Structure 1
């Protein structure tokens, strides 16, 4: 019987992270689910026969504890999915709160940095490692009211591209997935401070936005290609969204 492959997924207690954990478990990975909410995390992990580890990616100590706990598991870490992230507000640059920008940078960029640094030795040692970074189309183009989020996602994209260059010659693939409009239970709600009407307005008239399972499907696909195949960047939008500003909406 071979050594089992371990996949570590951050932000795994809901949305894209939860869907990705569920899909990777079906693909045969032993999934380590990492997030801040212990109750949700434990419930999902039990359903998947995975491992739940509470982790805050904005904390050096918490990420170090995550890596140490995973190192005690039976198996080899071959996949890391940097999914933890998020957006706060839609203020224009002239009115943007520095604290909001800092929080977005810390979770999206420095969170990815912390976790990637923590698991790179294990991924290299596996001989067949893959790092997947869930960024956004906001990391490729800017839009009004999205300065802070786009700045963080542009930085995350720069981190990912640089990492791929620096790992050239070592057995670790680096994949960036950039979703467009994805409807999940919490992303827009968190962005608008819990206002359900503002959150719903983002998707108003869009018959079929992407859902978390669509992105999980992308993660599973890139992760299960033959290891010599590196999908550098996968941009995925719903049919209704031709570009960041071009969205077909049906009015009743």
Structure 2
């Protein structure tokens, strides 16, 4: 990969091939950032980068070498959006699938750690860096069948919030975005590709869209350098908690 040198501010977005990551890449490009779109799915991430005039990097955040190569290829980083993540399965703790748990922790927690640690020197060197970590309301709520995901998101949030204190005094802001129900590929992946089951989850209510969340990330990225939006919780009007939502009768 050729080193990226850009006169524009540079934003790196992980998990950019779909959903919140894709929408965020488009939003940040619209705000004047050169967006480095990072994802595993080569066709999608290259198409997105071509559409917004960004750079496509095919990489898996669970791969140490791939993340280091990403960092080595960037001369400048002003914004990092840790968006790569996801959930697998809805088993109880007693029936937990250890492979699903490993994937969730590797992707949500250690993936965020790898990318953040690798890009941190460049973010600080920018003189006005921003780290946005997309967690979830699962970072502070729990629900039956969700222990693998909620525990990973709790840990991801703890990582991010700890870093906020450790970097105090540095020219770097940290924002946690915690969405509630967003209709993306998230539930399809969680339910092993069962589209009908994923659709049923949102039946009778109006969930957030990826663009709704991306707009808030763009707002955080465009604040003055002295303004740090520490944590932003975004839920659809029809959702009160992780387990309580309003469903309209058909």
Superposition TM-score tier, normalisation by shorter sequence? over 0.9
Tell me the residue number matched to 2:126: 126
Structure 1: how far apart are the matches of 2:38 and 2:242? 30
Match of 1:80, SS?
strand
Tell me the residue number matched to 1:203: 202
Structure 2: how far apart are the matches of 1:8 and 1:64? 14
TM superposition score normalised by structure 1: 0.96
Tell me the residue number matched to 1:213: 211
Displacement of 1:70: 1.9
Tell me the residue number matched to 1:191: 190
Displacement of 1:3: 3.5
Displacement of 1:66: 0.8
Structure 2: how far apart are the matches of 1:197 and 1:49? 35
Tell me the residue number matched to 1:176: 176
Kindly indicate whether residue 106 of structure 2 is the aligned counterpart of residue 106 of structure 1.
yes
Displacement of 1:201: 1.6
Match of 1:34, SS?
strand
1:68 to 63, 72, 84: 72
Match of 1:8, SS?
strand
Displacement of 1:196: 1.2
TM superposition score normalised by structure 2: 0.96
Structure 2: how far apart are the matches of 1:3 and 1:61? 27
Match of 1:210, SS?
coil
Tell me the residue number matched to 1:160: 160
Tell me the residue number matched to 1:94: 94
Structure 2: stretches of 5+ with no match in the other structure: 1-5
Q: How many residues align?
A: 245
2:244 to 219, 243, 246: 246
| Displacement over 2 Å in runs of 4+ | none
Which deviations, in whole Å up to 9, do the C-alpha atoms of 1:21-63 show, x marking residues without a partner?
0000000000000000111111110111100010100000010
Kindly indicate whether residue 32 of structure 2 is the aligned counterpart of residue 28 of structure 1.
yes
Match of 1:209, SS?
coil
Displacement of 1:151: 0.3
2:62 to 35, 47, 58: 58
Structure 1: stretches of 5+ with no match in the other structure: none
Which deviations, in whole Å up to 9, do the C-alpha atoms of 1:144-165 show, x marking residues without a partner?
1110000000000100110000
